[in-house]
Structure 1
Amino acid sequence: MSYAAARKKDFNERAEERISLLLKEIQVSRYPLCVEKSKLVTESWKKTEGDPMIVRLAKASEHLAKNFPIFIRDKELIVGNAASLNMGMEINCFWGPIYEEEIRKLEEEGFVYVPTDYWDQIREIIDYWRDKNLQYKIGQLLEDERVWSFARTGILLPPFKLREEGVGGLIGSGLHVGIQRWIGAIDFEKAIKFGLNRIIDEAEEEIRSLRFEGNIDKVKKKVFLKAGIIALKSIITFAERFSALAKKMAEKEQNNGRKKELEEISRICARVPANPATCFKEALQSFWFITLFTPWEASSAGRFDQYMYPFYRKDKEEGRITEEEAIELLGLLRIKDMELILAPARSVKRQQYAGFAKWHNFNIGGVDKYGRDATNELTYLILETAKRVGTPHHTITLRVHDGTPEDLMLKAIEVVKTGIGMPAFVGDKSYIEFLLSQGVPLDLARNYVVAGCIEASIPGHSRQSKCTFFVFPKVLEVFINGGRDERTGLELGPFKIEVERFQSFEDMYEAFKKYLVYFTKLAAELINIDLACVTEFSSPVDSMLMADAVREGKGIFERKMTYENGAAMSQCGLVNVADSLAAIKKLVFEEKLFTMKDIKEALRKNWEGYEEMRKMCLKAPKYGNDDDYVDSLVADLYKTWENTLSSIHTIWGESFKTAGISITSQWAGGAITGATPDGRYAGEVLADGGASPMRGRDVCGPTAIIKSASKIDQIGLQSVLLNMKFHPSSLRSYEDMKKLASLIKTYFSLGGKHVQFNVIDRQTLLDAQKNPEKYRDLVVRVAGFSAYFVQLSKEVQDEIIARTELSV
């Protein structure tokens, strides 16, 4: 063996050992609930009463950065702990109320453990923030009985219980101070390329040039910029503490190899993120420090392969890095990302976010601003890293266009075959056309990313504060019951109705659509109340890292964006409603086998005594089989909803956007919805995604599914998620992989926006349910994210198992 080969072998063994050891560090059975972050934020909050809100948030970041416990794990090369204990979760003070009984429930469910000596501190924190959080403020505005009654139904998830509780609180990791909720991407490229000191200098120069005349905006701008400077300096302070810690550890380290690594860590943390990154390792470390102070839950890392590539290319050209060394660093970043954990405190909300759902989305591929293919070497290395390391996070999304290299498609499918559910694939054609329809300039539209689940976003130029889930079958249930919600007993329809009186399907369908429009407008009112309260919590860190932040001089929730997607509403169970309406149309109005009175009674009794009727409803045409009879209903419901939402305005003056995702709201929505005419039982999970068939009802193969999905006019929709599940045997050969690549490109050529795959056999999943200890590393795609299968609830596991297995 040559010296070079031996050196490479030695490096690979050391890299594998490092990755393996750090993976073991993050594999915990329960996550410790920590109090350090909330304790420090509370200390700061008590000292800053009377200051403007954005200044208070900035000073809380400063106090946190100076005092938060820090540590460096053995073998780490990228540093920065996201919680005060290994794999810990911190209480979010600002989002909503945390109740002791909910924390106890989290313990019972096996999510967290609480050190015994923490309880007194937790109770103090709960009591102090009870009337200072976002949900409390929203509750104070829910005085209109129309909106309050609507909020309790759960048509817009989750159902409210108490005005002051709202949707409940959050626990999670990270150093972000604020409400940890917006969907988008900050301008990572500028922050890493030029350093935070550059932005601080720009802000200080802007303050010096301010002249206080004309209106109050100049004064507000100065307050904002001063807060922004404090906040960005906080991130630098945090990094400098790691530099000092690494230096101290290096002085005591006996192992020469590790000593050099710690010295290098110290050097890097002293440089970034304050200053421009000069190499790939510095760029990654800068990215991580900034990420820790931003709301990572549903934010995107942006076009990671594009803005990181110059650092990698320069290092490689100058002989400072090899492909294997880059893969090791990218693998370590994946492991760090696993430290970012989030869970809603309310159990009903956790149904929406199963398996510690998060959407830290790294976008790769696509076209550049001139429309040329933007694939580079780093694009491939990011995929190779995911294949080797195999963690469910961070999420990877591959942008696909007509010129996407076949080699890249096959590499992506090679990773999909491992079963980790990534990358997801999105179509440049549909996303770019959508953004152009929203008035976005072509060069910016071509630079789009998907953030959150798969929401269209532009780095630095858009921020979506809200994406809520509207339960379509719940509206149908209320409609069939004449305007009454059976679960709550509330009367809330726009008009009284007796479905038995309709003489034609067309008349009934038009009446249902009036209900749909009415409840959509109520949902928009509830969301706008939420948004009005959100504006108070503009984080200075996020705000300063958006495009033109210094010139605008306003918080992220107070300014207009180039692409103003402030709020989106996403369907939940739209496909179930289309399947239900198709069954009613066929069996009641065409074949006249039953009456609407029969249907209504069968649903009221949850099909008990009506088993034959249920079988016939199940046999009625179903979406996902290239059948216009029902596919046309799906398309029309989407178009009706899109037209309705585009006519309603958010508090920023722009229209609501229409989304076709579900995350895991199909479980939460299904749990509160009675039986439906498609043959579904009360409480049963709804259809997943936005273009996915109801599980088990697609019987004509993958081509039929994409034909059904492509009948939806997706250009006007911000996102449309399609889940597909393949048996591993269907992707064994090179030709099989090429067929799948062709299927993906065909769907996108027809206007499709997104598709993602689970590649796993049913038997493995069933065995994992019975023997979870043997499958701790088993990753599956749930919705717009992947998760460890054994961390999902049994209900979620069952739904994934029940999804139809396809073959290419």
Structure 2
Amino acid sequence: MSFTGDQESMENEPLHFQYAIKAKRTDRIQNLYDYVSSQKAGIDIERARYFTESYKKTEKYPQIIRRAMAFANALDKMTLYILPGSLLMGGHACKPNYSPLAPDFSTDFIKQEIIGGQPYFLPDRPADKFNVDPAIIPELKEIAEYWSGKTHQDHVYAHLPEEVLIAQDKIGVINDLNYVQGGDGHFAPPYKWHIEHGLRDVINQAKDGLEKADPTSSDGMDQRAFYKAVIISCEAVIKWAHRYADLAEETAAKESDPKRKAELLKMASIARKVPEFPAETYHEALQLITFLQLAVQVEDNAQATCPGRFDQVMIDIYRHDIDAKIETYETALELMENFFIMLSQVERVRSWTDTQFFRGKPIFQNLTIGGIDPKTGEDAANEVSMLILDAIQNTRTIQPSHYARWNDKSSPEYKKKVVETIRLGTGFPAVANDKMYMEAMMNRGYSQEDAANYCIIGCAEPGPPGLRGGRTGAAWYSLAKCMEMALYGGTDPNTDICLLKNSNGKDLRTFTSYDELWDSFVEQAKYYLRLHVIIDQAIDKEYEEYIDEPFSAILACPETTLPRGKSIKKGGAKYDFTGNQTIGLAVVANSLYAIRKLIFEDKMITGEQLQHALRTDFTDMTTDPTGPMIQQMCLSVPKYGNDIDEVDFIARDALRMVCDEFPKYKNTRYGRGPIGCHFQASTTTVSSNTPFGKSIGATPDGRKAETPLSDGQSPFRGTDVLGPTAAVSSVSKLELKYLSEGSLYNLKLSPADLRD
């Protein structure tokens, strides 16, 4: 697709370029897009109802079997629908854009917000609103009462030391609400494997494992429970697909349009085949993936179930159908766009507190294209890569999200198509640097072949489809807040809470050297990093004990979980790591450099003067220099993002400290089979820089109190004044090979900057 237009439109190119360049949609896709887009987000009680109904009857069973039985009960009874004109079927809730409720994870926000309206009723939120039918409230109260004291959040919080809860809920230096209020997710199924095998083969393998497991041993008993749960879950998904086949046939019987009738009957035939048996056509493969992708949302209520390297998944079956004249490029494109719209229906409701870390309702169903062939090392981009880029340009849906792998061997045609797609301004695809990601992964123990096969999971985390377990996303960690604590001797200036005093007994008023400041910052950062690990360990332990998910296990890593007879949280994956999100790097680097420059090198102000200016948010006009004058001094100091070594190296050293410290801790799967099993760092942010900023006062870089922090490893907004080349140069100094859990840099350009 070329972006050419009349001369006037090019000379007056709008800021929102995507609106000027019209999407090329078939009537079917336009109607689907309009229909789904018109459906307001809402709350679906059905998952909560049917999970609760099942759990009340299954208390005698092992937790993993209880989970499978609840999953099966929900799939068997939930409301089904077919989108008008769609060629694919599936849904994780009773309506498009509705979110299931998961009281098994948490009832706190259900009680406080949905029922109590604190701080808002869901339809009245400032953003990310959800409609709630008042008629469900009485039943929802009963459901919440049943789960009181039994939820995942209840179990996790019962295990946490008080200092961890203080650090999260009062100080605001770490946060892991996402994983106490919902499922784990964060994996990429090997969908090519599932296309070739189908769930009936999974069931047969589970039956074989059940027969071989030794019931006289503890491990054997656990394996038997796992295999039974797998069988229950897979049979439930097959039955659910057959329910869709029934619905398609019933709909066809009432359809007056012969063409649509034939489509519905074909869809019914496909649903009776997949996902039970292998897919043999492109259409069947997309339907199989749609069913699995949406079914797991019912079990897990999570985000970041990622289609993986989708061009590699689909290329063989696409070529087969093109050669056999089953599909044309145009029909295959329309089906892909239909698939995108199916995934765009997925919603997940969060508490308002957690929503502030995930504004815009991201689901992170990341779809990756391009890269290299893991066996030959040659460029792997293909016809489906280009088809997917066309589909992105035409659908412009928020989900699925997209990544394009980029390397020296990528063809000019592919690179041009990627850049043209980015130019639309939808934010897709993001670009992943193969060289840096593969180096970072091999640095942590991945084989070269597996590293070469990575896709992006979640926000920016790498992992090979079907082999990566653990949790690519874990607690948020505000490095900027750690720095602020060091400036005040270990005390939070907002709450006057002190969990760890600076061991040198000093603060910004009394530091006599930059080294003393740095040592205190590192001390605070390591202390709160340890609390980060504690909350993640508790979450994973309770996932394993109470939220053990058999369908997620075989969907994510069938080639390892099935032979081992264990779920991911018990060590079922080949590789297992626990991630992190490090927030506020640029604020830290800019602030520490400002202190070094203004106080210790140029001696323009004292530490006491600066601390007072920070405490008063640079507003005190009675001091000499005044608060605004001190702020201007802070703002005038060179900033990270302008290719200035002195400040860039502070960012490098701060991030390297985090990257070195996290792997010292092992997760709960260590020694239980997988490779790795340690914590590792990333700079992924989503929107967490905003709520974290609210808990931090003014900072020495000139930032005002309670304003957003910097995101990812990007320069602080407005401070990279020498252009994108200088900014990229600064980012490149961060020793990215140690960011094995993901390296996120946001670079935004006006469309006018990209004119020919």
Normalization by structure 2: what TM-score?
A: 0.90
Separation (CA, whole Å) in 1 of partners of 2:432 and 2:739: 13
Separation (CA, whole Å) in 2 of partners of 1:540 and 1:96: 20
Aligned to 1:484: 491
Range with greater deviation from structure 2 (117-126 or 699-708)? 117-126
- The match for 2:527 among 497, 515, 518 is 518
Residue 168 of structure 1, CA deviation: 8.9
Matches within 5 A, 1:103-182: 103=114, 104=117, 105=120, 106-109=122-125, 111-142=129-160, 144-158=161-175, 170=181, 179-182=182-185
Deviations 1:255-275 (A, max 9, x none): 101010001001100000000
Matched, 1:626 2:638: no
Aligned to 1:551: 563
**Cα distance change, pair 197–357 in 1 and its aligned pair in 2 (3 A):** same
2:554 corresponds to which letter in structure 1?
M
Residue 575 of structure 1, CA deviation: 1.2
1:476 corresponds to which letter in structure 2?
M
Residue 278 of structure 1, CA deviation: 0.7
| Matched-pair contact (CA < 8 Å) for 2:282–2:318 | yes
Residue 459 of structure 1, CA deviation: 1.3
Which structure 2 residue ranges, 5 or more long, are not aligned? 1-22, 621-626, 671-676
Residue 488 of structure 1, CA deviation: 2.7
**Cα distance change, pair 51–355 in 1 and its aligned pair in 2 (3 A):** same
Separation (CA, whole Å) in 2 of partners of 1:222 and 1:619: 66
Aligned to 1:318: 324
Separation (CA, whole Å) in 1 of partners of 2:532 and 2:629: 37
Aligned to 1:50: 60
SS of the aligned residue for 1:265 comes to helix
2:732 corresponds to which letter in structure 1?
S
Matches within 5 A, 1:417-432: 417-432=423-438
Separation (CA, whole Å) in 2 of partners of 1:526 and 1:264: 49
Separation (CA, whole Å) in 2 of partners of 1:440 and 1:484: 41
SS of the aligned residue for 1:503 comes to coil
| Matched-pair contact (CA < 8 Å) for 1:58–1:230 | yes
**Cα distance change, pair 540–156 in 1 and its aligned pair in 2 (3 A):** farther
Aligned to 1:368: 373
Matched, 1:675 2:691: no
| Matched-pair contact (CA < 8 Å) for 1:154–1:669 | no
| Matched-pair contact (CA < 8 Å) for 1:155–1:472 | no
Which structure 1 residue ranges, 5 or more long, are not aligned? 1-12, 160-165, 171-178, 734-808
Matches within 5 A, 1:641-720: 641-653=658-670, 654-689=677-712, 691-718=713-740, 719-720=742-743
Aligned to 2:544: 535
Matches within 5 A, 1:99-498: 99-103=110-114, 104=117, 105=120, 106-109=122-125, 111-142=129-160, 144-158=161-175, 170=181, 179-213=182-216, 215-294=217-296, 295=300, 297-345=303-351, 347-370=352-375, 371-465=377-471, 466-495=473-502, 496-498=505-507
Matches within 5 A, 1:745-760: none
SS of the aligned residue for 1:625 comes to coil
Matched, 1:729 2:749: no
Residue 560 of structure 1, CA deviation: 5.2
Count of residue pairs the alignment pairs up: 702
Residue 440 of structure 1, CA deviation: 1.6
- The match for 1:60 among 70, 74, 86 is 70
1:205 corresponds to which letter in structure 2?
D
**Cα distance change, pair 355–44 in 1 and its aligned pair in 2 (3 A):** same
SS of the aligned residue for 1:385 comes to helix
Range with greater deviation from structure 2 (108-117 or 75-84)? 108-117
Separation (CA, whole Å) in 2 of partners of 1:218 and 1:320: 47
Separation (CA, whole Å) in 2 of partners of 1:593 and 1:620: 12
Normalization by structure 1: what TM-score?
A: 0.85
Aligned to 1:81: 91
Matched, 1:501 2:506: no
Matched, 1:594 2:605: yes
Residue 169 of structure 1, CA deviation: 7.0
Separation (CA, whole Å) in 2 of partners of 1:539 and 1:211: 22
| Matched-pair contact (CA < 8 Å) for 1:583–1:677 | yes
Residue 167 of structure 1, CA deviation: 6.2
Range with greater deviation from structure 2 (488-497 or 505-514)? 488-497
Separation (CA, whole Å) in 1 of partners of 2:658 and 2:254: 64
1:464 corresponds to which letter in structure 2?
G
SS of the aligned residue for 1:259 comes to helix
| Matched-pair contact (CA < 8 Å) for 1:184–1:458 | no
**Cα distance change, pair 627–407 in 1 and its aligned pair in 2 (3 A):** same
Residue 76 of structure 1, CA deviation: 1.1
Residue 101 of structure 1, CA deviation: 3.6
Separation (CA, whole Å) in 2 of partners of 1:705 and 1:139: 42
Aligned to 1:777: none
Residue 524 of structure 1, CA deviation: 1.4
SS of the aligned residue for 1:650 comes to coil
Residue 149 of structure 1, CA deviation: 2.8
| Matched-pair contact (CA < 8 Å) for 1:603–1:675 | yes
Aligned to 1:764: none
Separation (CA, whole Å) in 2 of partners of 1:426 and 1:167: 25
Range with greater deviation from structure 2 (476-485 or 239-248)? 476-485
SS of the aligned residue for 2:475 comes to strand
Residue 378 of structure 1, CA deviation: 0.3
**Cα distance change, pair 632–528 in 1 and its aligned pair in 2 (3 A):** same
2:26 corresponds to which letter in structure 1?
E
Residue 240 of structure 1, CA deviation: 0.4
1:363 corresponds to which letter in structure 2?
T
Query: Higher strand share goes to which structure?
Result: 1
Deviations 1:58-101 (A, max 9, x none): 11111112111111122011111221123212211222223344
Separation (CA, whole Å) in 2 of partners of 1:29 and 1:78: 18
Residue 146 of structure 1, CA deviation: 3.2
Aligned to 1:637: 654
| Matched-pair contact (CA < 8 Å) for 1:277–1:286 | yes
Separation (CA, whole Å) in 1 of partners of 2:55 and 2:347: 24
SS of the aligned residue for 2:31 comes to helix
Deviations 1:29-61 (A, max 9, x none): 732212111101111111111111100111111
Separation (CA, whole Å) in 2 of partners of 1:544 and 1:168: 21
Residue 113 of structure 1, CA deviation: 1.5
SS of the aligned residue for 1:47 comes to coil
**Cα distance change, pair 543–695 in 1 and its aligned pair in 2 (3 A):** same
1:361 corresponds to which letter in structure 2?
N
RMSD: 1.8
Separation (CA, whole Å) in 2 of partners of 1:589 and 1:281: 67
1:694 corresponds to which letter in structure 2?
F
Deviations 1:546-600 (A, max 9, x none): 13222110111011533221x1122110210110001101111111011111111
Separation (CA, whole Å) in 1 of partners of 2:68 and 2:563: 19
1:230 corresponds to which letter in structure 2?
I
Separation (CA, whole Å) in 1 of partners of 2:165 and 2:185: 24
| Matched-pair contact (CA < 8 Å) for 1:169–1:344 | no
Deviations 1:212-238 (A, max 9, x none): 45x311111011101101101111111
Separation (CA, whole Å) in 2 of partners of 1:529 and 1:156: 18
Deviations 1:665-714 (A, max 9, x none): 1001101111111101111001112x210000000011101100000001
Separation (CA, whole Å) in 1 of partners of 2:685 and 2:456: 15
Separation (CA, whole Å) in 2 of partners of 1:726 and 1:568: 30
Residue 156 of structure 1, CA deviation: 4.1
Residue 477 of structure 1, CA deviation: 1.6
**Cα distance change, pair 622–411 in 1 and its aligned pair in 2 (3 A):** same
**Cα distance change, pair 383–248 in 1 and its aligned pair in 2 (3 A):** same
| Matched-pair contact (CA < 8 Å) for 1:674–1:681 | yes
SS of the aligned residue for 2:73 comes to helix
Separation (CA, whole Å) in 2 of partners of 1:490 and 1:623: 31
